Amino acid sequence: MRYISTRGQAPALNFEDVLLAGLASDGGLYVPENLPRFTQEEIASWAGLPYHELAFRVMRPFVAGSIADADFKKILEETYGVFAHNAVAPLRQLNGNEWVMELFHGPTLAFKDFALQLLGRLLDHVLSKRGERVVIMGATSGDTGSAAIEGCKACEHVDIFIMHPHNRVSEVQRRQMTTILGENIHNIAIEGNFDDCQEMVKASFADQGFLKGTRLVAVNSINWARIMAQIVYYFHAALQLGGPARSVAFSVPTGNFGDIFAGYLARNMGLPISQLIVATNRNDILHRFMSGNQYVKDELHPTLSPSMDIMVSSNFERLLFDLHGRNGAAIAGLMDTFKQGGGFSVEEDRWTEARKLFDSLAVNDEQTCETIAQVYAECGELLDPHTAIGVRAARECRRSLAIPMVTLGTAHPVKFPEAVEKAGIDAVPALPPHLVDLFQREERCTVLANDLQTVQQFVASHGNRGKPL
Ligand SMILES: *Cc1c(COP(=O)(O)O)cnc(C)c1O
């Protein structure tokens, strides 16, 4: 499988290089040159497979030529073996033909574990083959950091540095990062905000001299391997609900458009998905595009669903690429306009094409709490605020009651107690067994000034399992 850039200028890469690449050299994102397509018979024959075996069949074409079948099978069995639920991604019924797919049974209780548990193992596999080491730098306002650290803690060839804004993440979220101890794990609390952290990651990618030749790897959702891993659970859900003989609709709590883009790919690979709903919070740039063909940046609004607090949706470029007939020059032009502060609209027929599949809704904090309370009263299911936004959008945008509607349950409610409390629900969700002693565990974290040089010096002097590079 070869991968090409959405801006058309960077060289095509194989899977192994795409795994290590991050952004393409032309500023674009990598996508498969040709998407594999499965027949209905093939998909039907996967019914009843354990999750890791389904994952092998869905993802195998993407890694072909880079990772041997036997190795890939073993990696997948290990990856999904760490999930705390036998079904890995169980479906829970709310009302008639309405479902939540629980994607929060991984180590850090959010769906990001599906991709990052795999990414860490793939990196280690490829790096050990090459005899190389890499450094990962990432910025987090919550879920990504802990999932990335959990995914990389056992990697012998990776040192990971995760920056979070000092005193600005919740205690559960901080502890999920800082209590994972290992000589290759480095938590940095920056005396600044999330944007400061993200800017330092970007600047470090742009000028990697301080790493003395060690490669820097990205773990945010621009990394293709993350998207790839998320395609699998769309197949998993559909197969349980009568697919592929029957269509299924999905509602996806959305920020950077990574998770829902995986659903779009599943459909293009042959899975009959009749509708994809983009569910956003008040940070609604994608809703404004889907409902009114305007892709225009707005200010950041902090909400009760912080993992969807974004101004720009990085993976949306991947959809735009397809909507423009995979014309890289057109995408480079659009992104240039956008960078210069302008928003854009796409041509009417391209927008109409997108609207055949996608609907959208923006849900504010009050409506989020309302939905948490409503669903709890209806069926005793306690939703986290992100999932609640998905359920709200599913109910409002649903096109057909005859088609099963699945909302992606992106996080466990215990991670976001503030929203549960605001919804007026007394039942404090309990920490699952593997985290019950979270508040007693030892924490390890370094507080650093909001200064690029200070951070880069820290990375250079600890980047080789705590020793200098
Ligand atoms: C990351 C995240 C999202 C948003 O996913 P995208 O792929 O960025 O659209 C939604 N909910 C939760 C809980 C998350 O952690």
Mean pLDDT in consecutive groups of 10 residues from the start of the chain, 469 residues: 97 96 91 98 97 98 96 98 94 95 96 97 96 94 90 96 91 92 96 90 91 92 94 98 97 97 98 98 97 94 92 94 98 94 93 98 98 95 97 98 97 91 87 90 97 97 94
> Domain map of the chain by residue range?
87-109+224-422
Report yes or no: 8 and 26 within 8 Å, Cβ to Cβ. yes
Note the pLDDT of residue 453: 97
297 is annotated as an active-site residue: no
Atom in ligand 1 nearest the alpha carbon of residue 415:
13
CA 79 to CA 408: how far, in whole Å?
A: 20
Of 29, 116, 143, 387, the residue with max ligand 1 atoms within 8 A of its CB, to mutate for a pocket test, comes to 143
Q: Does domain 87-109+224-422 correspond to CATH entry 3.40.50.1100?
A: yes
Residue nearest to atom 1 of ligand 1 (CA): 307
C-alpha 390 to ligand 1 mean position (Å): 11
Which of left, alpha, beta for 97 (phi over 0: left; psi -120 to 50: alpha)? left
Of 308, 309, 391, 415, the residue with max ligand 1 atoms within 8 A of its CB, to mutate for a pocket test, comes to 308
Q: How far is CA 88 from CA 80, 102, 230, 354, in A?
A: 7, 8, 13, 31
Report yes or no: 179 and 107 within 8 Å, Cβ to Cβ. no
According to DSSP, the residues that pair with 160 across neighbouring strands are 136, 185
**Cα 445–229–14 angle (5° rounding)?**
100
Atom in ligand 1 nearest the alpha carbon of residue 259:
7
C-alpha 386 to ligand 1 mean position (Å): 8
Note the pLDDT of residue 195: 83
Atom in ligand 1 nearest the alpha carbon of residue 257:
9
Q: Which two tokens stand for residue 447?
A: 């507080």
Q: How far is CA 327 from CA 5, 22, 256, 318, in A?
A: 10, 21, 22, 11
pLDDT in tens, 292-330: 999 999 998 999 999 999 888 999 999 999 999 999 999
Q: Which two tokens stand for residue 375?
A: 């669903």
Of 226, 278, 280, 307, the residue with max ligand 1 atoms within 8 A of its CB, to mutate for a pocket test, comes to 307
C-alpha 110 to ligand 1 mean position (Å): 8
Residue nearest to atom 2 of ligand 1 (CA): 307
C-alpha 349 to ligand 1 mean position (Å): 29
According to DSSP, the residues that pair with 138 across neighbouring strands are 162
Residues with beta carbon inside 6 Å of ligand 1? 110, 112, 143, 221, 253-259, 307-308, 386, 410-411
pLDDT in tens, 19-32: 998 889 999 999 99
C-alpha 256 to ligand 1 mean position (Å): 7
The answer to whether the pTM exceeds 0.75 is: yes
Q: How far is CA 14 from CA 5, 108, 321, 450, in A?
A: 12, 30, 19, 37
Note the pLDDT of residue 427: 78
Q: Which of 73, 112, 212, 356 is catalytic?
A: 112
